Structure 1
Amino acid sequence: MTPEPTDAASRRVVFRRFGGPEVLEIERRAVPRSAPGEVLVRVAAAGVNPVDWKLFSGEPMHDPYERSLPSGNGYDFSGTIEALGDDVSGWRVGERVFGGLRYEAQADHLVIDPDLLVRVPEGLSLLVAGALNVVGRTAVASVESQRIGEGDVVLVSGATGGVGILTAQLCVLRGARALGTASTRNHPLLQRLGIHPLAYGDDLTEAMRAAAPDGLTVVLDTVGHGTVDLTLSLGVPADRINTIADCEARSRHPVRGVGGAEAGGPELAMIAQLLADGRIELPIDSVHPLEDVRAAYARSIEGHATGKIVITTAPVAEADEID
C-alpha cells in the first residue's frame, strides 16, 4: 500500500442547515485515509452545478437525492491520485483523474472507488476536467437519446450553459445543423463554434421559423422556460424532444427525459478526448478559490453563466495554473 500523507490540514465545504449560499462553510479535518479497494485523490478543481444549490437549499426535487445534515457539497472534481489502498491495481500515484462523487467533491481530498475515476487525457487541463462530469455525461446522453446525425436540424435551448454548449457542439460534430438559444452577448461565441444563435424574446418563434424554414427535427432542452410547449406548437414530434429541465412538461407530454444517468465512464473519456484534441470547447465562466464557494454559488444562482463555474483548491485561482 502507498504510504498515506501525514499532514492533517484538509479542507472541505459543508452545510449544516438548508438555505442559500450563506449556509456553506469551510471545515478543517484530518486527511481522509483510503481503505482497501479505494484511492485518495488530491482535488485540484471542482465544478459548480445548479443541482448542488437545489440540494443545499432543501427545496423539493423531482429526483430522489438522499439528503441529510450535516453534509459535504459538490459532485464534479479533478485532481491527482495521492495514495492507493490495498488491493488497488491499474492505477498509480500522481495520475491525473476526474469524475464525480456526490457531497464530497469540494474538498482538498476525497476517497473514492477507482472504478468511478476517468483519466485526464494529455492536453486537457485539470480546470476543465473538474467541470466535466455532470455536463459531459448529460450532453452525450441527450444527443444519443435522439441518434442525431446528418440531415437533422436541432434546437438546443440554453446553448451557452455548461450542458447546452457541449450538446450543441456534439450535434455539429455529427453533421447536424444546430440552432441555439442564448443571450445576445453570447452569439459571437456560438457563431464561432458553428451554431446558429437565436435570441430569447417575444419573437423567438418567428426567429426559429426563419432559421429553420423546413422545420426542426430534434429539440434538446437544457433550460425549460416553455421550450417544450413552444416546439410542440411548431410541429416537432414529442418523441423527438428531450428535456433535462422541464419535469412538468414531461408529465403532460410524451417527451423524453434522458440525462446524465444514462452515460458513464466511457462517454466521459470520449468527451474528454474531444476537448483535449480541440474539437470541442467547454468555456470556463469564472474560477473561485475554495474559500469563496459562496460567491461561486451566487454566480450560479444568477443564471447568466457562460459555460462552467469552477472552484479550485489552489491559493490563486488562475486557469493556467491548473494544468
Structure 2
Amino acid sequence: MTTEPHDDRSRRVVFRRFGGPEVLEIEERMPPHPTPDEVRVRVAAAGVNPVDWKLFSGQPMHDPYERSLPSGNGYDFAGVIDEVGADVGDWSVGDRVFGGLRYHAQADHLVIDPSLLVRVPDGLSLTVAGALNVVGRTAVASVESQEIGPDDVVLVSGAAGGVGILTAQLCVRRGARVLGTASPRNHDLLRRLGIHPLAYEEMLEAEIRRAAPDGLTVVLDTVGHGTVDLAVALGIAPERINTVADYAARQRLPVRGVGGAAAGRAELALIAGLLADGVTELPIDSVHPLEDVREAYARSIEGHATGKIVVVTGSGGV
C-alpha cells in the first residue's frame, strides 16, 4: 500500500434523523483506509444537488434510493488520491480524480472502487470537477436522447441551473438554436453562451411562439414546473420531450425520461474535457466550507442558484 502522510482524524457530513438542513452535522472519525482493490481520495470539493436534500429530508421519492440512519451525505466529489490499495495498478498517489459516491462525498476522505473514477484533465479546477458528476452525466444523456442537430430548435427549461446550463451549451455546440428559461438576472449569461433567454412568466407560451415562429422541435426539461404540459400545448411530439424532473408527467404521458443513469465515465470525461478547454462553462454559484454545509443546502433549497453550489474541505488543490 502506497501512502502519503495524512491527519489522524477525518471529518464527514452525516445526518441521524430526517428533516431540513439543520439535521446535517460534522462528525469526526479515524481516517478510512482502502482495501487492496480500492483507493482513498482526499476530497477537495463536493457538489450540492437537489436530490441530496430530498434524501436527507425523508420525503418520498420516485427513484428507489436506499436510505438508512445514520447516513453520510453527498454524491459528487473531486480530490487527490492519497492512498492506493496493493492490488490497484492504474492509479497513483497524487492523481487528481472526480466522480460520484452516494452518501460519502462530503468528507475529508473517501475510499472507492477506482473503476468509478475519472481523471481531472489539466485546466479544470477541482472545484468545478467536484460539481460535475450528476449534472454532467444528466446533461449529456438528455441531449443524446434526442440526437440534437443543426435542424433543431430546442427549449431548455432551467437553463441557468447546473443541469440546464450544460444541456443548453451542448445543444448549441451541436448547431441547434436554443431557447432557455431562466430568471432575468441570468439572461446576460445565457446570451453570452449563445442561448436565447426567456423569463418564467404567465405569457411564456406566447413568448416562445414569438421567439420561435416556426416552432420548437425538442423540449429538454430540467426543472419541471409544468414544462412538459407546455411542450404538449406547443405541439411537440411526446418522443421529442425529455424530462429529468417531472416524474408525474412521465406517468401520464409517453414522454422520455432519460437522465444521468444513461451516462457513465466516458460521458463525464467528455464534458470534463470541454470544460477544461474553455469551450463549455459550468458556473459556480457559491463555495462553502464543509462546516457551513447547512448554509449550502439552504441556498440550494431556495432554488435560485446559477450553476452549481459546492462545499470544500480546505484540503488544498481546489
TM-score bracket relative to the smaller structure? over 0.9
Contact kept, 8 Å, 1:100 with 1:133, in 2: the verdict is yes
SS at match of 1:268: helix
Q: Which residue of 2 aligns with 1:192?
A: 192
Provide the C-alpha distance between the structure 2 equivalents of 1:78 and 1:231, rounded to a whole number of angstroms. 36
2:275 is the alignment partner of 1:271: no
Amino acid at match of 1:227: T
Q: Which residue of 2 aligns with 1:243?
A: 243
Q: Which consecutive residues of structure 2, in runs of 5 or more, have no partner in the other structure?
A: none
Contact kept, 8 Å, 1:5 with 1:31, in 2: the verdict is no
Provide the C-alpha distance between the structure 2 equivalents of 1:118 and 1:73, rounded to a whole number of angstroms. 21
C-alpha RMSD of matched pairs (Å): 1.0
SS at match of 1:145: helix
Contact kept, 8 Å, 2:4 with 2:93, in 1: the verdict is no
Amino acid at match of 2:134: V
Q: Which residue of 1 aligns with 2:181?
A: 181
User: What is the Cα deviation at residue 8 of structure 1?
Assistant: 1.9
Contact kept, 8 Å, 2:187 with 2:197, in 1: the verdict is yes
1:292 to 1:6, Cα distance in 2 relative to 1, 3 A = closer
Q: Which residue of 2 aligns with 1:143?
A: 143
Provide the C-alpha distance between the structure 2 equivalents of 1:92 and 1:35, rounded to a whole number of angstroms. 15
Moved segments of 4+, more than 6 Å:
none
Amino acid at match of 1:63: D
Q: Which residue of 2 aligns with 1:100?
A: 100
Q: Which residue of 1 aligns with 2:298?
A: 298
Provide the C-alpha distance between the structure 1 equivalents of 2:133 and 2:32, rounded to a whole number of angstroms. 23
Provide the C-alpha distance between the structure 2 equivalents of 1:250 and 1:214, rounded to a whole number of angstroms. 26
Contact kept, 8 Å, 2:157 with 2:220, in 1: the verdict is yes
User: What is the Cα deviation at residue 83 of structure 1?
Assistant: 0.6
Contact kept, 8 Å, 1:84 with 1:93, in 2: the verdict is yes
User: What is the Cα deviation at residue 7 of structure 1?
Assistant: 3.0
Contact kept, 8 Å, 1:155 with 1:220, in 2: the verdict is yes
User: What is the Cα deviation at residue 177 of structure 1?
Assistant: 0.6
Q: Counterparts of 1:113-262 in structure 2 under 5 Å?
A: 113-262=113-262
User: What is the Cα deviation at residue 112 of structure 1?
Assistant: 0.2
Q: Deviations over 1:12-42 (max 9, x none)?
A: 0000000000000000001101001100000
Q: Which residue of 2 aligns with 1:68?
A: 68
Provide the C-alpha distance between the structure 2 equivalents of 1:274 and 1:139, rounded to a whole number of angstroms. 13
Contact kept, 8 Å, 1:4 with 1:33, in 2: the verdict is no
Provide the C-alpha distance between the structure 1 equivalents of 2:64 and 2:300, rounded to a whole number of angstroms. 22
SS at match of 2:61: coil
SS at match of 2:2: coil
Q: Which residue of 1 aligns with 2:38?
A: 38
Amino acid at match of 2:274: L
Q: Which consecutive residues of structure 1, in runs of 5 or more, have no partner in the other structure?
A: 316-320
SS at match of 1:309: strand
Provide the C-alpha distance between the structure 2 equivalents of 1:132 and 1:7, rounded to a whole number of angstroms. 27
Q: Which residue of 1 aligns with 2:24?
A: 24
Aligned length: 318
Contact kept, 8 Å, 1:74 with 1:103, in 2: the verdict is yes
1:139 to 1:6, Cα distance in 2 relative to 1, 3 A = closer
Q: What TM-score comes out, normalization by structure 2 length?
A: 0.99
User: What is the Cα deviation at residue 5 of structure 1?
Assistant: 4.4
1:6 to 1:147, Cα distance in 2 relative to 1, 3 A = closer
SS at match of 1:7: coil
User: What is the Cα deviation at residue 3 of structure 1?
Assistant: 3.4
User: What is the Cα deviation at residue 212 of structure 1?
Assistant: 0.6
Provide the C-alpha distance between the structure 2 equivalents of 1:11 and 1:34, rounded to a whole number of angstroms. 17
Q: Deviations over 1:217-269 (max 9, x none)?
A: 00000000000011101110000000000011111110000000000000000
Amino acid at match of 2:175: G
SS at match of 1:44: strand
Q: What TM-score comes out, normalization by structure 1 length?
A: 0.97
